[in-house]
Amino acid sequence: MKIINYSSFSIMLLFCLQISVAQNISGKIIDSQTGESIPYATIIVNNAENLVSNAEGLFTLSEKSSDASTILIISYIGYVSQKLSVEALVKQENTIRLQAGIIELNEVNVSNKKLNPYEIIANVKANIKNNYAKNSVPKKDLIFFREINNFKPAVLDVEIDKSSGFSKEALKKANAQMTAFTSKLISQPPREYTDILCNNYSYLTTKDDKPYYLSKLEVLKATKLKNENSSTSLEELQKSATDIILTHLDTTKYYRVKSGLFGSRDTISLRKDFNKKKNNKTKSNQQTATKSNISSFLLENSITNITKFSFIHDPEAYNYIFERATYTNENEFVYVLSFTPKKSRAKYKGKLYISESDFAVIRADYKLEDGKKVSGINLKFLLGVKAFENVSTGTVIYKNSPVGTGYHLQYAAHEAGQYIYVNRPLKFIELTDKDKDVVAFDLMIEGNTNEKREYLNINRSESTEAFIAKVTEEDFKFINLKSYDPKIWKDYNGIEPIEEMKQFKAVD
């Protein structure tokens, strides 16, 4: 008979449990009736940090939040909230099934007076300044920011058709390089994924006797996932093509670029002394660029943005339908209105979720109505350029600020897509009073660019002006990845990547 050493067995079991707890725990949120995933559901971790499920209903907890005793509160407007431990989550196979709310109001009543949807929108407009005023209390926001860019060229053709400085062999070689470059872009459309975790410190103060919103950004970690030397924007594409041209130009000369009737003030050269001097002048600062990018995103996705949120600020241009009234996880009633364009200037359709108590928009889902465009130009026959933004869809979620008063942006996602067409001649003209070297080539691009940005305020806490004054904004470097590595973010909560990001592998 085999004798079991229970003491050793217990130690081994405890060790195994510790190993399992140390791993990051993932979960999926679905509708209990339909089984469909629920995107952008709120997950509150230990009453301290806020997460959201991604577009596929998935979320992952940090290693420190994956302890069996960690408490999660899962909520979504119109569903019954759930409170459970990580241990309970694992027991139900990491799946959270939310049930639709039992209480549904068929009529909208405030102070026994029935309101129609247009009166609700009027109240929303009247309360915007109070609900979304700049918060003057010094605060610290822990932010996760993701940006996904891709370029899908349908046609991409660059050919040098004239050169006074090229030999026939050099011209042939340059065109061969161009063909290889464009063929690779079409067969392997470039994509880029950027993740940033940062602290944003801010408060409202005065400068020159005027209100001034001071903010400082502290980047904790940043990763970039992309193919090396790939181009995901028109600017990068132009630079890549230009670099190929420049390798065949005289390294001792200076050139200026001309496109059609228009010239450029930029001087181009391969001289080491010139480029060294120029690079010193244009040295990029990643921290500054990131701060500007996040700041602009917050401005664009503020409910006070009259242009973007025209379906709130320009009610005469939209049709509104009262769909139902439901409640939030705080048991506050919410009006649900759908909207569609009524006049030609209106562009969006979607839904608004509006608090009954103060008429704040706590969530908005929107997308372009079929056939509508955000903006565009069509100079195809005159200048060989055509472009328009034909994709604009997003979600914003606002919460009562735990610091100060009013509402703050907890989550926002926005996807923008553009169709582009460029068919233009380009020339590199030598800067000299003598006979000029001229390199001319034709550029033909047709395709679509797409950008998706997501913002998550994980935690907001109170700070002080004295502490923020001591914060130093320092530049940083991205951690460059060739494939997604979940271990990179194991110590932090954030936004779970969608499947395409998990499957991405860089091709050199």
* Residue 109 predicted with pLDDT over 90: no
Q: Dmax over Cα atoms in the chain, in whole Å? A: 103
Structure-token pair, residue 458? 């994980």
Residue corresponding to tokens 């195809």 = 380
Give the burial string for 234-271 (b: 16+ CB within 10 Å, else e): bebbbebbeebbbebbeeebbbbbbbeeeeeeeebbbe
Confidence of residue 13 (pLDDT cuts 50, 70, 90): very low
Residue 16: predicted pLDDT: 46
Confidence of residue 87 (pLDDT cuts 50, 70, 90): very high
Query: pLDDT digits over 49-60, tens only?
Result: 999 999 999 999
Integer angstrom CA distances of residue 71 from 19, 46, 79, 334, 402: 20, 5, 19, 26, 20
Confidence of residue 15 (pLDDT cuts 50, 70, 90): very low
- Confirm if 375 and 387 have CB atoms less than 8 A apart: no
Residue 4: predicted pLDDT: 45
Pick from 193-202, 372-381, 430-439, 447-456: least confident: 430-439
Which residue has better confidence, 122 or 267? 122
Q: By CB neighbour count within 10 A (0-12 exposed, 13-18 middle, 19+ buried), where does 11 fall? A: exposed
Range 6-98 classified under CATH 2.60.40.1120:
yes
Confidence of residue 141 (pLDDT cuts 50, 70, 90): very high
Residue 240: predicted pLDDT: 65
The fraction of the chain above a pLDDT of 90, given in percent, is: 52
Helix (H) or strand (E) run with residue 340 in it:
strand 333-341
Per-range mean pLDDT, top range of 142-146, 325-329, 502-506: 142-146
Residue 507: predicted pLDDT: 67
Confidence of residue 191 (pLDDT cuts 50, 70, 90): confident
Q: For the residues 172-192, what does the mean pLDDT come to?
A: 74
* Residue 449 predicted with pLDDT over 80: yes
Residue 117: predicted pLDDT: 95
Query: pLDDT digits over 199-253, tens only?
Result: 999 988 887 778 888 899 999 999 999 876 555 555 566 666 666 666 656 666 7
Confidence of residue 120 (pLDDT cuts 50, 70, 90): very high
Count of Cβ atoms closer than 10 Å to residue 17 Cβ? 11
Q: What is the DSSP letter of 152?
A: E
The bridge status of strand 333-341 relative to strand 348-355 is antiparallel
CA–CA distance, 428 with 438 (Å, rounded to integer)? 6
Pick from 100-104, 341-345, 450-454, 478-482: least confident: 100-104
Phi-psi group of 115: left, alpha or beta (phi > 0 → left; psi -120 to 50 → alpha; rest → beta): beta
Which residue has better confidence, 208 or 70? 70
Residue 269: predicted pLDDT: 58
Per-range mean pLDDT, top range of 83-97, 142-156, 253-267: 83-97
Residue 177: predicted pLDDT: 73
Query: pLDDT digits over 299-338, tens only?
Result: 999 999 999 999 999 999 999 999 988 888 777 889 999 9
Structure-token pair, residue 52? 């959201």
Residue 133: predicted pLDDT: 85
CA–CA distance, 160 with 172 (Å, rounded to integer)? 9
pTM: predicted TM-score of the whole model, two decimal places: 0.82
Structure-token pair, residue 199? 């602290």
Which residue has better confidence, 119 or 426? 119
Confidence of residue 142 (pLDDT cuts 50, 70, 90): very high
The full set of domain ranges for the chain reads 6-98, 131-477
Average pLDDT, the chain: 82
Residue 230: predicted pLDDT: 59
Query: pLDDT digits over 245-287, tens only?
Result: 666 566 667 767 666 555 555 555 555 554 455 545 444 589 9
The fraction of the chain above a pLDDT of 70, given in percent, is: 76
CA–CA distance, 494 with 506 (Å, rounded to integer)? 23
Q: What is the DSSP letter of 24?
A: P
Residue 52: predicted pLDDT: 94
Q: For the residues 388-400, what does the mean pLDDT come to?
A: 93
CA–CA distance, 222 with 308 (Å, rounded to integer)? 29
Structure-token pair, residue 401? 């600020």
CA–CA distance, 108 with 325 (Å, rounded to integer)? 7
Instruction: Say which residues have a Cβ less than 8 Å from residue 65's Cβ, sequence separation at least 6.
Output: 25, 45, 46, 49, 86, 493
DSSP 368-404: EPTT--SEEEEETTTTSEEEEEEEEEEEEEEEE-SSS
* Residue 38 predicted with pLDDT over 80: yes
Residue corresponding to tokens 């005023």 = 133
Confidence of residue 376 (pLDDT cuts 50, 70, 90): confident
CA–CA distance, 307 with 409 (Å, rounded to integer)? 18
